[in-house]
Amino acid sequence: MSDVRARIRQQVDGNDVVLYMKGTKMMPQCGFSSRIAGVLNFIGVDFVDVNVLADEEIRQGIKEFSDWPTIPQLYVKGEFVGGCDIVTEMTLSGELDQLFETKGIPFDRAAADKIREANA
Amino acid sequence: MAVADTMRERLAAAFAPTVLEIVDESEAHRGHAGWREGGQTHFRITITATAFAGMGRIARHRAVHAALGPDIVGRIHALALEIRAAGEGG
């Protein structure tokens, strides 16, 4: 296992929710990254943000790690969940709530409902 | 050949889709990261095909990435995908 693979494995296994993104959760630098970070912030999920723009090795390595060509990428309990489109779809369908529930990740369901009401 | 035409050709060959819309949204991202003069950097694809039935979300996206090929996926900056199997709402 290469070093970068080991680093990523450690990040996603050592933290319940990890978002690989462009920019940071406080200052996203890409609309797609901003959207996932915004959802997680809004529904009160505690997550670790990894800014790929600050680490070229991770920026390339994460694409190989997940066999997924784009960023952002969301991981929950070590498992790849998806990118912006998938996380958006799962938010609106309620599947994201189910995932967090199943994995024991605290979140604010009322806030998630608000997102769905606003996008109904 | 324009990027969108290559995408259309490859997706049509791979999935025989009943719906295939490819929109070059590059102009909406003018000046953003990854944008280049001439556009063809940001795309939105809506595709419906029976081939996607029984596949999970991640598998569907991977299948589309694979059909587009690494040359296309590597040269564009952003790709929004709406993938449905025939008969699915959305």
Q: Report the complex ipTM.
A: 0.85
Write the pLDDT tens digit of every residue in A64-105.
999 999 999 999 999 999 999 999 999 999 999 999 999 999
pLDDT average per 10 residues of sequence, chain B (90 residues): 93 97 82 69 94 96 96 89 85
A82 at interface of B, judged by CB pairs closer than 8 A: yes
**Sign of the C-alpha dihedral computed for residues A87, B17, B43 and B65 taken in this order:** positive
Q: Does A4 touch chain B (CB under 8 A)?
A: no
Positive or negative torsion for Cα A35, A37, A41, A43: positive
Taking residues A7-21, report their average pLDDT.
98
Phi, psi angle pair for B68, to nearest 5°: -70, -35
Taken in order of first residue, the domains within chain B and their CATH numbers are 3-84 (3.30.300.90)
A71 and A22 in contact (C-beta within 8 Å)?
yes
Q: How far apart are CA B76 and CA A4, in angstroms?
A: 25
Give the list of residues 6+ apart from residue B54 with CB closer than 8 angstroms, or none. Answer: B85
* Identity of the residue in B57, B65, B78 whose CB atom sits nearest the CB atom of A32: B78
| Candidates 3.40.30.10, 1.10.10.60, 3.30.428.10, 3.40.190.290; CATH matching A3-118 | 3.40.30.10
CB contact under 8 A, A85 and B58: no
